[in-house]
Amino acid sequence: MYERAVATRVTDDLPTAGPGVAQGGAGNRRGGPPFLRNAYALVLNTGISGALGLAYWILAAHHYDDSDVGRGSAAISALMLLTGLVSVNFAGTLNRFIPEAGKRTFTVVALVYLITSAVVAVLAVALLFALHTLGGPAYDILREPDTRVWFIAAAVAASVITVQDSVLTGLRAAVWVPVWNAAFAVAKLVLLVVMAESMPRSGVFFSWIIPMIIVMFPVNLLIFGKLLPQQVRRSTVETELTVSQVGRFFAADYLGSLLLYGIMFLVPILVAVKVEPHTYAYFFLVWSVATMMNLVAVNMAASMAVEGVCDPSSLADYCRSALTRALGLLMIGVVGIGLAAPYALGLLGTGYLDAVPLLQLLALASLPSAVVDIYLGTLRARTKRRRIIAVQSLRAVTVLGLVVALQHYHQFFLHFGDPRLTAVGAAVLLGQLIAMLAVLPELGQLLGWRRRYTPPIAAGGETVCP
């Protein structure tokens, strides 16, 4: 545990800590509840989703042909790209402003649901048309008329599910996130096995989307039937938020998040159009594991940003706590994956051994990525819009540029698995390292490596965050 630092005043568009914001409450000191409760709930969700997700792809490898796994995972990649383009990019704004929305919380959440659902549906149609003409053989099942209808419905459901996670986090009720995600993951596993005989070609895709559509209904019944009304009733102060204030932050954070999720969701698309379906099956399993590792820091940063809005004077403490816990967990994962990858992937089939170096490189890349993601969480808590765009732009341009560049020079990796896949891992690791080095000076200043003290902010009366 860290000693509580002398409060540093946060600048650059930080909401004023007046009587509406509680400062340094005893329950929140040194990364205590609700910061740790929500952060650990989100990390637990990542762990459960990662373990069950790995089990899902292991079963898929044993019950389906490699090419069928590749086609199903390519369709899921397209679905995730749509979600990243729209719904995921509302996450930072929801986490930032739900704690201050007060009696307008219900309206804010409902509008986000409507906007994201409508936009995702339109983009799903456009993406299907693009993949029909430009996509490779990995996208064959999305060229079938019946599957297209299901894809559009699944895209809307995925957008709702992504937004609801951010809503639960913003409402400081993230303990519910691992519950529904576990139910979703278990249902996927069951359907995957059931459909192996009857739908071998598209069973991977349908076993993923059907539980997702079903599970979103009870979760949103909880949100709109219980949690949001509670938030509105317990709000004791009128919010001073304006549409322009939220809009300016959203525009900046959306652009930044679009760049971040461009890495997470666009890289798989770039790979899918260049490799055969069976090779993409190897890639996507590894990429899914790496994505789960990256979400550890993303979830820590989300909880930290919410609490940083409620208690700005403790933001440095929350940042230290998030960094320590995220990097500690990820170090264990990096070592474990580095040692186990050659044996674990070999159990799935000899072809999966081609992706061992890719998995090891992506696992290592999660460490610098965690530093950048937690730093971005502090920027959201302080509403530093321009800095968010700058950091996300640097990371996206660097990683995506290196992925494209190293694909042309993949012969340098001929002795390390499939060189086309290994080149992707090397590009992601190098890009994340460059982004981390760029943010370290300001992160160090926030954490007190170069301290600038001001008198502690006095505790207020009422709190925006009940």
Q: What digits encode the pLDDT tens for the residues 371-387?
A: 999 999 888 888 787 88
Q: What whole-number distance in Å separates Cα of residue 377 and Cα of residue 225?
A: 29
pTM: 0.63
Give the three-class secondary structure for 463.
Answer: coil
Q: Two tokens at 166?
A: 């951010």
Task: Report phi then psi at 69, rounded to 5.
Answer: -65, -40
Number of other residues whose CB lies within 10 A of the CB of residue 224: 16
CA-based nearest residue to 139, from 286, 268, 53: 268
Nearest to 65 by CA among 189, 198, 190, 204: 204
For residues 427 and 405, give the distance between their C-alpha atoms in angstroms, rounded to a whole number. Answer: 8
- Read out DSSP for 427-439? HHHHHHHHHHHHH
CB 387 within 8 A of CB 366: no
What is the rounded radius of gyration, in angstroms, for the C-alpha atoms of the chain? Answer: 22
Question: What is the separation of C-alpha 86 from the centre of its chain, rounded to a whole number of angstroms?
Answer: 13
Q: Enumerate the domain spans of the chain.
A: 63-254, 274-449
45-66, pLDDT tens digit by residue?
667 766 777 788 888 888 888 8
> What tokens were used for 175?
């303990």
* Chain centroid to CA 221: 23
- Cis-peptide into 34, omega within 30 deg: yes
Specify whether the CB–CB gap between 279 and 421 falls below 8 A: yes
CA dihedral over 23, 28, 34, 36, signed as positive or negative:
positive
| Close Cβ partners of 101 (under 8 Å, ≥ 6 residues apart) | 108, 239, 241
How far is the C-alpha of 173 from the C-alpha of 180, rounded, in Å? Answer: 13
DSSP state string for 255-317:
HHHHHHHIIIIIHHHHHHTTS-HHHHHHHHHHHHHHHHHHHHHHHHHHHHHHHHHH-GGGHHH
Instruction: State the DSSP string of 51-82.
Output: HHHHHHHHHHHHHS-HHHHHHHHHHHHHHHHH
Query: How many whole angstroms separate alpha carbon 296 and alpha carbon 208?
Result: 22
Residue 271: CB atoms within 10 A of its CB come to: 22
User: What is the chain's pLDDT, residue by residue, as a tens digit (466 residues)?
Assistant: 333 333 333 333 434 333 333 334 434 444 445 666 666 666 666 677 667 777 888 888 888 888 888 888 888 888 877 877 766 556 666 766 676 666 777 777 887 788 888 888 888 888 888 887 776 777 888 888 888 889 999 988 888 888 887 788 777 776 777 777 788 888 988 999 999 888 888 888 899 889 988 888 888 888 888 888 887 777 665 555 666 666 666 666 666 666 666 667 778 878 887 778 888 888 888 888 888 888 888 878 877 877 777 777 788 888 888 898 889 989 998 999 889 888 888 888 888 898 999 999 999 999 999 999 999 988 888 878 788 888 888 998 899 899 888 888 878 888 888 888 999 999 999 999 999 999 999 888 888 765 544 444 333 444 445 5
Q: What is the pLDDT of residue 42?
A: 64
Residue 22 CA to residue 129 CA, distance in Å, equals: 51
